[in-house]
Amino acid sequence: MGNELTNKDLLRFLKNKHLHAGFINGLKLHYRPLICPYISLINMVRPGDKVGDIGCGSGQFLLLLSAFARPSFLYGIEINAQLINNGRELLSDVGSDRLLLETYDGMNFPPLLSEMDILFLIDVLHHVPKPKQEAFLKKLVSIMKSTATLVIKDIDVANPLVIFNKLHDLIVSGEIGHELSCKKVSSMLAEANLEITAIHKITTYVYPHYTIVGKKP
């Protein structure tokens, strides 16, 4: 559907999807497109891409890609085994030849990530402990194949509205995030030898998002 895709399309599609995983996870599944700029992220996937989603949660973004993009393979990793089980339930109609979901320890990336054409890190970096964030990014870039793309979508600590994301995380996840500024993350990625090709900022409701797109030489 390309650039014609709208949030109404996403919400209509997700309305008929269900998880046996509690009220909060149900809210995330059905309504997160209202606050997260998914459409711009979906449109970054090219037909035939192998897509990796790091910190894939219950698989909502991968589900949307399976419906509204044309990837050849979807690979999701997540530290929470219950969320991986949720994802397997949610994506049960996607064939095993096109999908793999796995748990990992949060720092040691599975070798399969090095085969992906595009990797997404959506609202994950601010959940990484602050002393480990730079090493996390460097290690991630180091395992990417040449010409692969990394897309980081997160919340900008340089914007005063970040307080609302901290409250959101406290209520939904029971923790306070470690948000970084868009400028800081861009600098970290450049130091890790990633060529920054695009930076986008958008505020939806009270959430100050930034998206950084980089390509490995």
Instruction: Record the tokens describing residue 163, joined without a space.
Output: 């307080």
CA distances (Å), 128 to each of 85, 137, 190, in order? 22, 10, 19
Q: How far is CA 23 from CA 11, 91, 177, in A?
A: 17, 19, 22
State pTM to two decimals: 0.94
The runs of H, that is alpha helices, within the chain are 7-15, 23-31, 38-42, 60-68, 81-90, 133-143, 162-172, 182-191
Quick one: pLDDT at residue 2? 45
Domain 2-215, CATH among 3.40.50.150, 3.30.70.1450, 3.40.50.720, 3.30.1280.10: 3.40.50.150
Report pLDDT for 1.
Answer: 42
Q: What is the DSSP pairing of strand 207-215 with strand 118-122?
A: unpaired
Question: pLDDT for 165-210, tens place per residue?
Answer: 999 899 888 889 999 999 999 999 999 999 999 999 999 999 999 9
Closest CA to 52 of 79, 72, 67: 72
Stretches where the chain sits below pLDDT 50 are 1-2
**pLDDT the model gives residue 30:** 81
